[in-house]
Amino acid sequence: MGRRYDPERRQRIIDAAIAVVGERGIGALSHRAVAAEADVPLGSTTYHFATLDDLLVAALEQVNTECLADVERMERDAPPGMPLADQMAWLMEQMLTGDRKRLELEYELYLVGLRRASVRPIAASFLDRMAALLERRTGDPDVARAVNALFDGMLLQILLTGRAFDREEARAAFARVTG
């Protein structure tokens, strides 16, 4: 019997990796777990992704692309003329009241770069793309990076502590950074 033509297999494997991490955490990621989730033979995962790092890079690239698209969409949907500090607080609130599991997944994959050097360039690229997006509003690359760092720091603290989001506190912090 010949090999079955399956042009979507690679994408299903990436989606399965994201699902495994989202449901069970990064520690559960294995070629075997992903193959089972994607309903493909184990050899398919290693054919498309020789190492788990290769699979993590592909998953993080996809998650980052989706996240940036979400941020751009939310930026377009923000009320016109909204000051940047208000918009960042609004955006943070949208993310926290949206799919929280997805937000946790995004940060879990993003933070994998602390332990896996192969993932760091993908995380760095995401930070650069976010800074470029914010620089369109600030006109200053240093302020854009500071706003992005504050955004990530506040979101991580809320996700880690379970503390309630305070929109006014967030707006005031962004206002201090943006002047």
- CATH number for position 140: 1.10.357.10
- Examine the pLDDT at 1 and tell me if it is beyond 70: no
- Print the domain residue range for 66: 52-178
Tell me what pLDDT residue 157 has: 95
> Model confidence over 17-54: pLDDT tens digits?
999 999 998 999 999 999 999 999 999 999 999 999 99
Residue type present at position 69: A
> Model confidence over 77-133: pLDDT tens digits?
877 888 999 999 998 998 899 888 888 888 888 888 888 898 899 889 999 999 998
Distance CA 89, CA 135 (A): 17
Q: Are 40 and 117 found together in one domain?
A: no
Token pair 């206002």 in the structure block, residue: 175
Distance CA 172, CA 81 (A): 18
Which region, left, alpha or beta, applies to residue 40 given φ > 0 means left and ψ of -120 to 50 means alpha? beta
Q: Are 129 and 68 found together in one domain?
A: yes
Q: How many domains does the chain have?
A: 2
Q: Are 32 and 101 found together in one domain?
A: no
SS3 30: coil
Tell me what pLDDT residue 100 has: 86
Q: Are 122 and 166 found together in one domain?
A: yes
Q: Are 153 and 169 found together in one domain?
A: yes
This prediction's pTM:
0.82
Q: Are 8 and 39 found together in one domain?
A: yes
Extract the runs of DSSP E, i.e. beta strands, from the chain.
Answer: none
Distance CA 53, CA 47 (A): 14
